[in-house]
Amino acid sequence: MGAPDEITAKAIFGETGSETSIAIIFGYDDGTMATLYSSFRTAGGIGCDLLCEKGNLYFSRGRDMSQRLNVALNGQENKEYSLLPDGMGYQFEAAEVMKCLDEGKLESDVVPLSFSRDLMKTLDRIRKAARIVFPAD
């Protein structure tokens, strides 16, 4: 979907001034949207739901780092896949950095610098929309 064309965000702040919950809506010019929610105040778990025309994908992660994918396609029986990875995935990032260094590359073909820049711009837009201000601002 790429960088959103429009961002709406609302944060709830705790006693320390740090945000404790945030709700975000990404709007795209083609009429699609994405909603995100994060909170330290609720026990909603760690996951992601992708709701699509032909079915839905439900990703979840347990406290033991186990991961589950439930595939619910319209008119078909649900399928569930489970995985207990060796870590949080950082080993793949580290391996890619080492590969790039070995090959003399300044950036990765897997996740180029432009992706990181676009992500930072999106995070800054979320902060602005939610009125999140850091001391260094």
Strand 67-73 and strand 55-61: pairing? antiparallel
Q: Is the pLDDT of residue 88 over 90?
A: no
Q: What is the pLDDT of residues 38-84, one digit of tens each?
A: 888 877 778 888 888 899 999 998 777 788 999 999 999 999 999 87
Q: Is the pLDDT of residue 110 over 90?
A: yes
- For residue 60, what are the contacts with CB-CB under 8 A and spacing of at least 6? 45, 46, 47, 67, 68, 70
Burial degree of 125 (CB within 10 A; 0-12, 13-18, 19+): middle
